[in-house]
Amino acid sequence: MTSIIQAENLGRWYGEVVGLGDLTVEIEPGITGLVGPNGAGKSTFMKLMVGELRPARGQLTVLGEVPFGNRELHRQLGFCPQQDALYEHQTGRQFVRDLLRLGGWSRREADPLAVRAMERVGLEEAMDRKVNGYSKGMRQRTRLAQAIAHGPKLVIADEPLTGLDPIARRQTLDLFGGLAQDGCSVIISSHVLHEVESLTETMVLIHRGRLLAQGSVREVRRLISHHPSRVDLVARDPRRLASALLPLEHVRSIKLGADPGSLTVETDDIAAFHSSFAGVAAAAGAGVSGLKSDDASLEAVFDYLVG
């Protein structure tokens, strides 16, 4: 299968700040999740893919073409940027239609395509309202509409699920699924693993501007399962609570915190910890007054994976 994206030793700096370090990756057609914590280089990679930026070093081809200033490539690309920016004086329909016209469509052709795109993102009722009155989620969907309206071969969406309510999130995921069924490749970035997980098996994990892992969700999950979960506790007698928890098989370590009564437990099995904790804590009589479970955020996982 021919790769749609080929990056070799790709690097991009913003002055002294590294946006992308040394990324070598190939992405196949279909839906691909580009996952990494904030600041990993996802947006920089996407801006390089759509030709908004030029690499400082390395090679990048998208659909076999060098992206920067490539008008032929832009015909085949749809880009949904992360930044919440629209032409505020326009309606959603005008916004999508005018951008279609820049793509070469006549006014007569562009209008029905714009309407169709707004319908696909669920904004048919709001499309004739000015975008400056849209909610954050509606603005996000409008950005998505302009990315798909011209029927591109490849849609690149930077954090497209941010700001969407659960229903809109589901609709958007379905939309990406539909695009893929129509033969369109989709690359979406996210810093929330389970968002992407529900959409695709294929993931590219980047961290600090480098490729960390690439493959199926299962493989990534396997890496994550080795990552211990953290639970922050507050108790009247933290030492007694620590003594009671330490014998549990799944508890890896316990650290007493600097704040009075605080302690942090690292466990290999968060589910087992939660099921046994209440009984152990009650028996110890340590007076537990607070419990906060580590959210297994990608940042934590990545920190763990990169040591």
Partner 1 sequence: MNLISALPRATWLIFRMHLATTATSRRALAGILFAAVAPLFAFLAVRIGGGDDSGESVFMYLGVLVLLQVVAPALGVFLGIGAIADETEARTITYPFTRPIPRASVFLGRWLASLLVLTVLLLSSGAAVGAITMGADDPPSTEAVQTFIGATLIAGVLYSLGAAVIGVIFKRGQVIALGYAFAFEVMLANIPGSAQKLSLQFYLRSLFAGGDSADWSSLEIFEMSTFLEPAASAERLLTTALILLVVGCVAVTRKQFVLSS
Contact residues toward partner 1 (CB under 8 A) are: 14, 43, 50-54, 68-69, 71-72, 74-75, 77, 79, 81-83, 85-87, 89, 98-99, 101-104, 146, 158
- Which of 159/251 has CB closer to partner 1? 159
Q: How many other β-carbons are positioned within 10 Å of the β-carbon of residue 303?
A: 13
- Which of 65/294 has CB closer to partner 1? 65
Instruction: Kindly give the residue spans of alpha helices, DSSP state H, lying in 149-287.
Output: 166-181, 193-197, 217-225, 238-245, 270-284
- Which of 146/200 has CB closer to partner 1? 146
- Which of 158/195 has CB closer to partner 1? 158
CB of 158 to partner 1, least distance (A): 8
DSSP 3-state assignment of 111? helix
CB of 270 to partner 1, least distance (A): 32
CB of 102 to partner 1, least distance (A): 4
Contact 305, 207 (CB under 8 A): yes
Tokens of 44: 């920089």
CB of 43 to partner 1, least distance (A): 6
Contact 221, 212 (CB under 8 A): no
CB of 215 to partner 1, least distance (A): 27
- Which of 53/233 has CB closer to partner 1? 53
Instruction: Report the Cα 66 to chain-centroid distance in Å.
Output: 25
User: Which of 30, 28, 23 has its CA nearest to residue 47?
Assistant: 23
Contact 294, 274 (CB under 8 A): no
